[in-house]
Structure 1
Amino acid sequence: MCRWRSDLTPNYELSGKKLGIIGYGAIGQKVAEIGAALGMTILVSSKNHTAEIDRFPLEDVLMQSDILSIHTSTKPGNEQLISKERIAMMKDGAILINTARGKLLDYDALEIALLQGKLFGAGLDVFPEEPVRSSSICNLPNVICTPHLAFYTDYTLTIMNEHVINNAVQYVVKKYS
Structure 2
Amino acid sequence: MAIPYIVCRKVDATKKDKPQLWYAVGKKLQKKGGKTERDVAHQVAQRTGFHRGVVEAVLAATGEIIEEALSEGHSVTLRGIGSFQTAVTSKGFEYPEDVLPHSVRLSRVYFKADRMLTLAVKRAGCHRIPFKYYFPEELLTKKMKQADKEAEQEENLLNE
The structure with higher relative contact order (CA 8 Å, sep 6+) is 2
Q: One fold, TM greater than 0.5?
A: no
Please report the TM-score for the alignment, with normalisation by the length of structure 1: 0.20
Structure 1 or 2: larger helix share?
Answer: 2
Structure 1 or 2: larger strand share?
Answer: 2
